[in-house]
Amino acid sequence: MSLRHPTRRAWLGLAASAASLPGQARLRIVSVKAVPLPINSMAIPKASEPLPDFDPKRWRNFGPYAQLPAAILVQIRTQEGLTGYGIGGGGQAACLIIEQHLAPMLQGTNALNIELLWDQMFASSSFYGRRGLALQAISGIDLALWDLAGKRANLPVYQMLGGPTAERVPAYYTSNEIERGLKLGFRAIKIHNFDTFRDGAAGLRRNAAKILEARQRAGPETQLMLDALCGWDVPYTLELADRVAAAKLAFMEEPLLPDDMDGYAQLCREIRSTRIASGEHEASIYGFRELLRNKAAHVLQPDLTWSGGLTDGRRVAAAAEAAGVQLVPHRGGSVYGMTLLLTSRSPALAESFGTGESGNELMEMLTTKLVDGHYLPPPGPGFGVDFTPAFLRKHAPSLAA
């Protein structure tokens, strides 16, 4: 593995070297709990009146278990008195998977055997999981285990993995409020909220106009990207890319549905004016290996709170580096994304997380400090996020006891 962090053997060696000190080699898990904790200020979508069968909105009804509105908070306590926290996804459905399947597996195990526990949880849930809810649940647990390990060592997690490879990481702002992003200090902007291919030729014209206008607003020196949120198909993406070549986009993110591997491979072969980013909705090293094997992404975007946590994220980072593919984690400005970026050889870009989104207490807690268009390393120990008793009583009372 070419990343600058210890291999699994080295990590286990560090644990073994502490075995001579009483109580230093083990953290015995006594409790694993999870609760829904929406990160976005927007409410989880509610059921509404049925739309006509062919209404384009029916393809964009993402439901209550997708993305940030369905975040969960995982709490793991040990016999030694330490508590670790991690963010996962999948809402109440993922919490049930933890309560009824994964928590009993972890009871009494050593919390420092992080990679072993990941492999056991993945194998045990693979007959019904492999992606989606099961991986979102495992992600939260894995991050809580790393938080525990960092607290046990009294170090930021990135220091446990060999230390940072950079003092700071360039950041980009995901928003259509371009001027606001520039005022905040960002030197890269990603715009979103586009018409889909089902909106036809008129939607294509609107999308092209929006992109070209964004370039004018951002100026020639600002990196500009877009997020299509899986709303296009291959011919549409290729035509739009040709129409907006003058905008000099750094990448187009997720133009197709995540499972359209052949389509992504075709885009990567044929597109000329920009690059293709994918992976926000991919899961585990196995899924990311398929993207790499098929040459179906120029940029990989794992989200550690959904795709398998830090343990699996490090595997993805190593595979991306070996393939010469850039790693730009989804919401990379979070303490989790920054930990992965800071322990990769060439940290590229960290997406905004919470910055400029005032009034959201949790997102502010999970965001590292932005200085001069760069995110700084998160504080420690662990991931450096303090889920205080007051915060828990307010947002997750069942975990405050």
| Cis status, amide bond into 255, omega within 30 of 0 | no
- At residue 117, φ and ψ (nearest 5 deg) are -65, -35
Assign 18 a pLDDT band (cuts: 50, 70, 90): very low
Fold of 163-383: TIM Barrel (3.20.20)
Q: From the candidates 281, 330, 374, 395, which is the catalytic residue? A: 330
Is 90 exceeded by the pLDDT of residue 40?
A: no
Is 60 exceeded by the pLDDT of residue 288?
A: yes
Helices (H) and strands (E) in the chain, counts: 15, 13
The number of beta carbons lying within 10 Å of the beta carbon of residue 63 is 11
CA angle 61, 62, 68 (to 5 degrees): 145
Q: Is 281 a catalytic residue?
A: no
Q: What is residue 38's predicted lDDT score, i.e. its pLDDT?
A: 74
Per-residue pLDDT, averaged over 153-159, amounts to: 97
Is 90 exceeded by the pLDDT of residue 212?
A: yes
Assign 49 a pLDDT band (cuts: 50, 70, 90): low
- 226 or 10: which leads in pLDDT: 226
In this structure, are strands 169-174 and 374-375 parallel, antiparallel, or unpaired?
antiparallel
- At residue 268, φ and ψ (nearest 5 deg) are -65, -30
- Range name among 57-66, 163-172, 318-327 with the lowest pLDDT average: 57-66
Is 80 exceeded by the pLDDT of residue 10?
A: no
Pick from 243, 205, 203, 250: nearest CA to 348: 250
Distances (CA, A) of 205 to 11, 196, 225, 241: 53, 11, 18, 12
Q: What is residue 63's predicted lDDT score, i.e. its pLDDT?
A: 83
- What whole-number distance in Å separates Cα of residue 11 and Cα of residue 75? 23
Assign 30 a pLDDT band (cuts: 50, 70, 90): very high
Amino acid (1-letter code) at residue 262? D
- What whole-number distance in Å separates Cα of residue 192 and Cα of residue 174? 7
Question: DSSP per residue over 139-156, as a string?
Answer: HHHHHHHHHHHHHHHTSB
Amino acid (1-letter code) at residue 374? H
Assign 11 a pLDDT band (cuts: 50, 70, 90): very low
Q: What is residue 48's predicted lDDT score, i.e. its pLDDT?
A: 58
Assign 346 a pLDDT band (cuts: 50, 70, 90): confident
Pick from 177, 234, 228, 236: nearest CA to 204: 236
Assign 39 a pLDDT band (cuts: 50, 70, 90): confident
Q: What is residue 24's predicted lDDT score, i.e. its pLDDT?
A: 53
Q: Which helix (H) or strand (E) covers residue 375, if one does?
A: strand 374-375
Is 90 exceeded by the pLDDT of residue 337?
A: yes
Q: Do the beta carbons of residue 91 and residue 111 sit within 8 Å? A: no
- What whole-number distance in Å separates Cα of residue 177 and Cα of residue 164? 32
Q: Which helix (H) or strand (E) covers residue 90, if one does?
A: none
- 17 or 322: which leads in pLDDT: 322
Question: 22: Cβ–Cβ under 8 A, 6 or more apart, which residues?
Answer: none
Question: 76: Cβ–Cβ under 8 A, 6 or more apart, which residues?
Answer: 29, 31, 32, 83, 84, 85, 86, 106, 111, 141, 144, 145, 148
Is 70 exceeded by the pLDDT of residue 104?
A: yes
Burial class (CB within 10 angstroms; exposed 0-12, middle 13-18, buried 19+) of 12: middle
- What whole-number distance in Å separates Cα of residue 267 and Cα of residue 233? 10
- 163 or 2: which leads in pLDDT: 163
Per-residue pLDDT, averaged over 113-131, amounts to: 97
Is 70 exceeded by the pLDDT of residue 278?
A: yes
- Residue for token pair 């990941």: 118
Q: What is residue 161's predicted lDDT score, i.e. its pLDDT?
A: 95
- What whole-number distance in Å separates Cα of residue 109 and Cα of residue 104? 10
Asked if CATH classification 3.90.380.10 holds for the domain at 8-159, the reply, yes or no, is: no
Assign 12 a pLDDT band (cuts: 50, 70, 90): very low
- 359 or 305: which leads in pLDDT: 305
- Range name among 257-271, 278-292, 339-353 with the lowest pLDDT average: 339-353
- What whole-number distance in Å separates Cα of residue 230 and Cα of residue 264? 11
Is 70 exceeded by the pLDDT of residue 392?
A: yes
- What whole-number distance in Å separates Cα of residue 231 and Cα of residue 59? 9
Per-residue pLDDT, averaged over 241-251, amounts to: 98
Round the average pLDDT of the chain to a whole number and report it. 91
Query: What six digits make up the tokens of 393?
Result: 């009583």
Is 60 exceeded by the pLDDT of residue 32?
A: yes
Longest dimension (CA), the chain: 70
In the chain, what are the domain boundaries?
A: 8-159, 163-383
Percentage of the chain exceeding pLDDT 70:
91
Q: What is residue 232's predicted lDDT score, i.e. its pLDDT?
A: 98
Assign 89 a pLDDT band (cuts: 50, 70, 90): very high
Per-residue pLDDT, averaged over 168-188, amounts to: 97
